[in-house]
Amino acid sequence: MEKLDNFLLDIVDKTAYLTINRPEKLNALNRATLIELSTILKRLKEDTAVRGIILTGAGEKAFVAGADIAEFNGLSEDKARELAAWGHQEVMDVIYSFPKPVIAAVNGFALGGGLELAMACHLRVASEHAKLGLPEVSLGLIPGYGGTQRLPQLVGRGKALEMIMTGDMVTAEDALAWGLVNHVVPANRLIPTCLMLLEKMYAKSSSAIARAVEVVNTGLADSEKGYHAEINAFGTAFSSPDFKEGVSAFLEKRKPNF
């Protein structure tokens, strides 16, 4: 286990267990934490031994209970825009388009920037006691790290606006029913469930998974471009080593070695 300034990083076999380690602040996202996360993501992207990431928060109370509001005090309009743009480009969008599976293990409160961080991940698994919400309107703000865009994609416009305009938290069970999280499990099954999902993906083609993420994201941004992206990626896959191995394994009635 590697202890960093604001994170714990443990790489076991093919999986990177990345824990936001600010439990005394309920793992709130200050700028230093986001900068460090950006650096770690670059490192894990380049590490060929790592096939997937489980992202969670330290302690039993919170995944991430929001942004560090103290850092907002005194920001000008221009500085606030710069902050949001940097967070999008260097962290949230990086996770959203990451070529390796990233699963958020939501172990408690996921509020504001914390929920936005979870929504940027490919999948979300929540413990039974988790609470999720976007309370920014209580501060006279709106979500600034993708919440107004990703939440409607997951739960629909009506539910998204209800969460955003009331600022209310929702339970893990409601989040599951609405499509905000993929699974809800007891706390002691949270990490094992995330690992089970990753191990299913490890048995599949990593290059195909990376292409699937890219094409799905393209289609969500622009549905017409999505179809063209799918056609192109489908064709490109035919020249990949993984395709050759996958077809050979199928014809030889064996498991592929990806």
* Active site residue ranges: 116, 136
**Distance (Å, rounded) from C-alpha 108 to C-alpha 27?**
11
Neighbouring residues of 20: CB distance < 8 A, sequence distance ≥ 6:
6, 7, 27, 29, 33, 37, 55, 56, 57, 58, 63, 64
Q: What is the DSSP string of 141-153?
A: ----SSHHHHHHH
**How many Cβ atoms sit within 10 Å of the Cβ of residue 5?**
10
Q: What is the DSSP string of 213-254?
A: HHHHHHHHH-HHHHHHHHHHHHHHHTTSHHHHHHHHHHHTTS
CA-to-CA dists, residue 87 to 53, 121, 158, angstroms: 19, 14, 26
**Distance (Å, rounded) from C-alpha 99 to C-alpha 211?**
8
**How many Cβ atoms sit within 10 Å of the Cβ of residue 196?**
12
Tell me, rounded to whole angstroms, the distance of Cα 130 from its chain centroid. Answer: 16
